[in-house]
Structure 1
């Protein structure tokens, strides 16, 4: 009889972080404008764009740049059932409301829920491997855990809303391709980097043995998409501030924080200002444009200023381009704060420590072809050694940054 293949791997353990104020940034995936936000002057009264089963909603197609390369993004809406707007008086006594099939894009609510799921994924022994080749990353948790974590970061959602958000993330398809959009009548020469949903596999079931305020705990099982799984396998992730992400109220501010975390990753000692235009933020963040240009620019500026208010930036200088008296464009010069740069350096230290820890396991500097299985006893040893390395690296960094005493 063959033994069961190990369900854990060194990379899954290295994805863990005990500091709950941190989250992991998966650069390309987290910078892609995968969410559809509703602007104030949009007539849609609900989250995302919704139509009934008798209508058809077109996919959202966007272009964005990342590290000097151009990418194309297609977001296809999820199809879900929702209670109809039928009045209670029109239903038979005790009858549940009729359901109507709608199409909806993932929006800000889903963005926050996915971020919380990723934060929970960093808890000890939360992740495991599945699939015939043990190359798929899965996670188990309860809906109540999501709700409790949302409350902890001042985001309140009902269990029903959380369930629906996860369903939308599991059904809305994402396609990320390289290269600009092809010319009409010509084939694209790019290739698809991702054609999947945020959670390709999602199962939600009640556990009658446990009870919460809603009458039962929902045990949720999901699987991360191939781009996220590959990033975990290749250690292409690094810590950023989860606390900052959850404090920022605007999705544009959250995108800009992620962007700055990448832009400033090479900054060693001094805060070098980052130049970025309002149009670049609009295009690459996926934000909606208002009917009036000045309203769109006002929202972008508010998102930038929020980073100053939170201490992520020391300042944000603005240069205006006007057509007559009207502001037509804004260029920003963003100066990162010392606190933000410390966060960036910490992320770099953790990533380097993870890479060194994996090298010690495989015995060479070559990147493994797949996940490196570990036994339970070896997992405990790996956690212990990594924690010691991180502590030593943090102490060394603190000594380097200490000012010299005047003689």
Structure 2
């Protein structure tokens, strides 16, 4: 087994139950707002023939302005019609489940010679994983999501319009090997193979991923709460009962691309509810809101001061220690890991 894959699959935990709850969140890849439009929103954007245009989303990654350009997948429906789909929340859940399955030694792979990574799975296995995390899907729904993931293209560009170094216009899943429909009807346990996006492969190789409470993340009811959980797992590496994490409403709106309501007040309310969900689920102990006002007292932005729960602090320290062991450098006195290179 390649040592990089072994590091990706080994978690720092005490029990098998803890291990079952853990997966990896990928630094850059999980910071790209690539699942931002709902199926309902797509209906309004489609042409009469069912086509969608390119979707362009500006966002910021660790101080750098970037743009995601997404080309939708063209899917033939059961009744024979053709429609375009951007990857949405359904596909995000499927990708997260595939990454979890890849942490099993018998299912994940890392092909160093061809610089590829991915997962070998069955539809039954994928469906059971989703069911286990509270997201029941039929085989037909799962197959549709896999086709959308393998048929959608994404490109990341910098502020000056150039493509990111080492990155090209690539499918979410560059390769998907599927069994025939007849075989599916006969045996939903037949093997499939999916290749992960190059940024996932790059992260596995460069150790720019972090273990986090995947089970808890998947239990959140809203997509925004799941996005916030991943971002906190990636960025709140210094979590302790004496430290706080601050984020602004404007930052979340820009970088998640999930606050698409017509009224600004509805967007603010949605973020407030998502943060409350993180408190209810035991990620945050408290959340203090500080309104930033302009002329005539109009709210122009909101600063949120987030306090973690002891459980989240424990998880962050375990993630820090796991990373430090991987790069063979000790954590500091506060339990913080060396900075990701």
How high is the TM-score relative to the length of structure 2?
0.85
The residue number in structure 2 matching 1:144 is 124
Relative to structure 1, the CA distance from residue 39 to residue 168 in structure 2 (aligned partners, 3 Å threshold; closer, same or farther) is: closer
Secondary structure of 2:76 counterpart: strand
The residue number in structure 2 matching 1:169 is 149
Where structure 1 has 5 or more consecutive residues not aligned to the other structure, the ranges are 1-7, 84-96, 183-187, 357-364, 366-392, 398-407
Choose the corresponding residue for 1:154, options 134, 140, 143: 134
Residue 177 of structure 1 contacts residue 194 of structure 1 at CA under 8 Å; is this kept in 2?
no
- In structure 2, C-alpha distance between the alignment counterparts of 1:39 and 1:303, rounded to whole Å: 20
Matches within 5 A, 1:66-81: 66-81=61-76
Relative to structure 1, the CA distance from residue 128 to residue 262 in structure 2 (aligned partners, 3 Å threshold; closer, same or farther) is: closer
- Does the alignment pair 1:82 with 2:77? yes
The residue number in structure 1 matching 2:36 is 36
- In structure 2, C-alpha distance between the alignment counterparts of 1:324 and 1:302, rounded to whole Å: 26
Alpha-carbon displacement from aligned partner over 1:7-36 (angstroms, at most 9, x marks no partner): x41111221146110010111101110113
- In structure 1, C-alpha distance between the alignment counterparts of 2:220 and 2:114, rounded to whole Å: 37
Residue 64 of structure 1 contacts residue 71 of structure 1 at CA under 8 Å; is this kept in 2?
yes
Choose the corresponding residue for 1:125, options 106, 110, 119: 106
Q: How big is the shift at 1:234?
A: 1.8
- In structure 2, C-alpha distance between the alignment counterparts of 1:207 and 1:294, rounded to whole Å: 47
Where structure 2 has 5 or more consecutive residues not aligned to the other structure, the ranges are 11-15, 336-341
- Does the alignment pair 1:198 with 2:172? yes
Secondary structure of 1:258 counterpart: helix
Residue 156 of structure 2 contacts residue 163 of structure 2 at CA under 8 Å; is this kept in 1?
no
The residue number in structure 2 matching 1:387 is none
Matches within 5 A, 1:356-367: 356=328
Secondary structure of 2:81 counterpart: strand
Residue 154 of structure 2 contacts residue 172 of structure 2 at CA under 8 Å; is this kept in 1?
yes
- In structure 2, C-alpha distance between the alignment counterparts of 1:332 and 1:129, rounded to whole Å: 39
- In structure 2, C-alpha distance between the alignment counterparts of 1:281 and 1:10, rounded to whole Å: 36
Indicate the larger mover: 247-256 or 63-72: 63-72
The residue number in structure 2 matching 1:105 is 86
- In structure 2, C-alpha distance between the alignment counterparts of 1:206 and 1:103, rounded to whole Å: 23
- In structure 2, C-alpha distance between the alignment counterparts of 1:202 and 1:285, rounded to whole Å: 27
- In structure 2, C-alpha distance between the alignment counterparts of 1:271 and 1:147, rounded to whole Å: 41
Residue 203 of structure 1 contacts residue 222 of structure 1 at CA under 8 Å; is this kept in 2?
yes
Residue 241 of structure 2 contacts residue 309 of structure 2 at CA under 8 Å; is this kept in 1?
no
- In structure 1, C-alpha distance between the alignment counterparts of 2:259 and 2:194, rounded to whole Å: 30
RMSD over aligned CA atoms reads 2.6
Q: How big is the shift at 1:145?
A: 0.5
Relative to structure 1, the CA distance from residue 263 to residue 215 in structure 2 (aligned partners, 3 Å threshold; closer, same or farther) is: same
The residue number in structure 2 matching 1:15 is 8
Q: How big is the shift at 1:148?
A: 0.6
User: Who wins on radius of gyration, i.e. which is larger?
Assistant: 1
Q: How big is the shift at 1:43?
A: 8.2
Alpha-carbon displacement from aligned partner over 1:71-129 (angstroms, at most 9, x marks no partner): 2211111111113xxxxxxxxxxxxx4x1111110000011111000000000132234
Alpha-carbon displacement from aligned partner over 1:126-175 (angstroms, at most 9, x marks no partner): 223448x3321232110110111111111110001001101111111111
Displacement over 4 Å in runs of 4+: 49-52, 206-209, 321-328
- In structure 1, C-alpha distance between the alignment counterparts of 2:31 and 2:218, rounded to whole Å: 16
The residue number in structure 1 matching 2:265 is 294
Q: How big is the shift at 1:207?
A: 9.6
- In structure 2, C-alpha distance between the alignment counterparts of 1:341 and 1:147, rounded to whole Å: 31
Q: How big is the shift at 1:215?
A: 3.7
- Does the alignment pair 1:249 with 2:221? yes
Residue 155 of structure 2 contacts residue 163 of structure 2 at CA under 8 Å; is this kept in 1?
no
- Does the alignment pair 1:305 with 2:304? no
Relative to structure 1, the CA distance from residue 327 to residue 141 in structure 2 (aligned partners, 3 Å threshold; closer, same or farther) is: same
Residue 50 of structure 2 contacts residue 84 of structure 2 at CA under 8 Å; is this kept in 1?
no
